[in-house]
Structures are given as C-alpha cells and as structure tokens.
C-alpha cells in the first residue's frame, strides 16, 4: 500500500501532482485492493492489482511486510487464451509462498475485476492466507491447503472510474460488508454554480453546493450503521486547463468489538481497524 497517495491534510484530500498526472495519462481500468494478514505471527500486506486494457485482463499480487518493504511479487500479464489458470512459487525471507489462480470460467463486467467463476489463493505453510473468488472448494482442492478460513482483512481499495457528469461503481465500506451502488454526480462544464452529489443505492447521502469555494473538504455520512468520512478534491475539474481527475476518499473505522465479530480469527485485543476506498474520477472527453 506504499504507493497509495497521501490522503489527509488540513484541507481534506491532498494528492501529489505525480499521482494525478499519472492517472490521467494512463487512464487505464485499474483496481488495487489491499489486505492485511499475518505470516508466522507477523503482520503483512497483500496488494492485489486488477487491470484491463486492449490485450485483456491482468493481475499482480505483491506481499509487503509491516515496514512496507516488498517481500515478493508476481505479475500475471494480460492474457488472451493463456495464463488463465496456473500457479507461481515465490521466496520470501527464506520461506515459500505459493500463488494459485483460475480464471478459465470467470465472468467479467465492464471493470477489471472478475464477477464470478474464479479464485485467487495465496498459500503459506499450507495455510490459505488469502482467498478471493467464489470457487472456494476448487481452490482448496487445488492447493491442498488446510481447509480453514483465512485471517486476511480487506483494508483498502483504489479504483479509477470514468464518466462525463456521473461516475458509478460498486463499493464495500468495511471488510465483508454489504456491496452498495455508489454514484458521484458533478457537472462542472458550462455551469455557473457547480455542485456535487453522492448517492448510495440511489439515496442522496451528501450534497456540496458552491463547489468553486468548496472544491476540497470532508463530510461524515452513515452507511450500514457505520460513520463514513468522505474527503473530496475536485480542484482539477474546476480549475485545471487539462483534463484532470478528481479524488474521493471514503474512510471507515471498525471498533475492535465489531472486527472480532466479523473476523473470529482476529486478535480481540487489537486496535480499531480502518478501511479506505480511494476513487480517482477521470472525465471522458
């Protein structure tokens, strides 16, 4: 998660120029998901990057230690007919980590993430450290991993979303939480008084008027009984001479009690764990 932009500051979301320009230049369909887990009792981060371009779908899996030092990484480059099923063994601190994947019957939507019919598994010492997808039985059979649930917790997601006035995506605001329809609406072209509207499942949860004066800020909304802090930065949409991107951050914080209820393998004495959803909204020309 070390490549995630710094998203906090006195004026709300703060995004480095390099991150903004890079996202605009590449403008590719990209989703980055970060999971926190434990390897031999030590905390680590597993970063899964889903990509989509003219060549097809792509995937990379990287594992970092608690100090954000890379332990290992594997890139499954965009495939046409090959690479849809396989495995890769990696070395991390003299230990073996196996990554398995099967997309041979996967179904995709408009985004880079598969919707169903797939699995991605990370195995360490015969334990399934992280398992993604709905083909769970097939994953355990293939990997010969101990059939116990992984202790990985979904802690962050970053996504590029595209639109003209309306930007849509699916969103979870906590690990194992309900999947919601999230819509951001903002018309900044030819409008004397642009405004920002955010909807969750078609319900308006936030409105910002006089956006030229409030192009950065933060506001708290409620979703699934959780307080979700929303940060926004639409400066590039309003004042940039080029087709820049806006950034939105949705941040929640689960108490240790709720985390223990949703993740029985977690440490009940652990501190509250936050979840961050970062959206880079790029306007189509």
Over 60: is that where the pLDDT of 259 sits? no
pTM above 0.85, yes or no: no
Question: What is the pLDDT, as a whole number, of residue 77?
Answer: 77
Confidence of residue 17 (pLDDT cuts 50, 70, 90): very low
The predicted model gives 130-136 an average pLDDT of 95
Pairing state between β 273-283 and 153-163: parallel
Question: What is the pLDDT, as a whole number, of residue 273?
Answer: 66
Question: What is the pLDDT, as a whole number, of residue 278?
Answer: 96
Give the C-alpha separation, 248 to 139, whole Å. 35
Question: What is the pLDDT, as a whole number, of residue 1?
Answer: 39
* 3-class SS string, the chain: CCCCCCCCCCCCCCCCHHHHHHHHHHCCEEEEEEEEEEECCEEEEEEEEEEEECCEEEEEEEEEECCCCEEEEEEEEEECCCCCEEEEEEEECCEEEEEEEECCCCEECCCCCEEECCEEEEEECCEEEEEEECCHHHHHHHHCCECCCCCCEEEEEEEEEEECCEEEEEECCCCCCCCEEEEEEECCCCCCCCCEEEEECCEEEEEECCCCCCCEEEEEEEECCEEEEEEEECHHHHHCCCCCEEEEEEEEEECHHHHHHHCCCCCCCCCCEEEEEEEEEEECC
Question: What is the pLDDT, as a whole number, of residue 241?
Answer: 72
Q: Which of 163-167, 199-203, 267-271, 272-276 has the highest mean pLDDT?
A: 199-203
The predicted model gives 24-31 an average pLDDT of 64
Question: What is the pLDDT, as a whole number, of residue 176?
Answer: 76
Whether the CB-CB separation of 113 and 50 falls below 8 Å is answered with yes
Question: What is the pLDDT, as a whole number, of residue 151?
Answer: 81
Region for 190 from its dihedrals, namely left if φ exceeds 0, alpha if ψ lies in -120 to 50, beta otherwise: left
Give the mean pLDDT of the chain. Answer: 81
Domain ranges within the chain, ordered by starting residue: 32-154
Tens of pLDDT along 108-125?
888 899 999 999 999 998
Higher local confidence (pLDDT), 241 or 212: 212
């Amino acid at each position: 998660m070390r490549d995630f932009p710094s998203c906090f500051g006195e004026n709300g979301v703060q995004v480095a120029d390099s991150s903004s320009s890079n996202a605009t230049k590449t403008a590719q369909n990209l989703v980055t998901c970060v999971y926190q887990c434990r390897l031999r009792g030590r905390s680590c981060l597993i970063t899964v990057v889903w990509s989509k371009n003219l060549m097809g779908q792509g995937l990379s899996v990287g594992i970092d230690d608690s100090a954000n030092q890379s332990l290992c990484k594997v890139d499954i480059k965009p495939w046409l007919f090959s690479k849809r099923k396989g495995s890769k063994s990696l070395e991390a601190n003299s230990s073996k980590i196996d990554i398995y994947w099967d997309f041979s019957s996967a179904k995709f939507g408009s985004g880079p993430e598969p919707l169903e019919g797939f699995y991605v598994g990370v195995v360490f010492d015969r334990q399934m450290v992280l398992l993604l997808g709905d083909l769970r039985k097939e994953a355990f059979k293939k990997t010969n991993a101990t059939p116990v649930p992984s202790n990985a917790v979904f802690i962050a997601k970053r996504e590029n979303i595209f639109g003209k006035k309306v930007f849509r995506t699916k969103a979870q605001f906590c690990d194992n939480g309900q999947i919601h329809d999230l819509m951001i609406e903002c018309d900044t072209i030819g409008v004397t008084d642009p405004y920002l509207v955010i909807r969750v499942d078609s319900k308006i949860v936030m409105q910002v008027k006089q956006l030229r004066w409030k192009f950065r800020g933060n506001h708290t909304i409620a979703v699934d009984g959780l307080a979700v802090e929303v940060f926004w930065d639409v400066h590039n949409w309003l004042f940039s001479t080029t087709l820049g991107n806006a950034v939105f951050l949705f941040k929640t914080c689960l108490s240790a009690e709720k985390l223990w209820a949703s993740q029985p393998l977690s440490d009940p004495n652990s501190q509250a764990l936050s979840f961050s959803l970062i959206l880079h909204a790029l306007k189509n020309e």
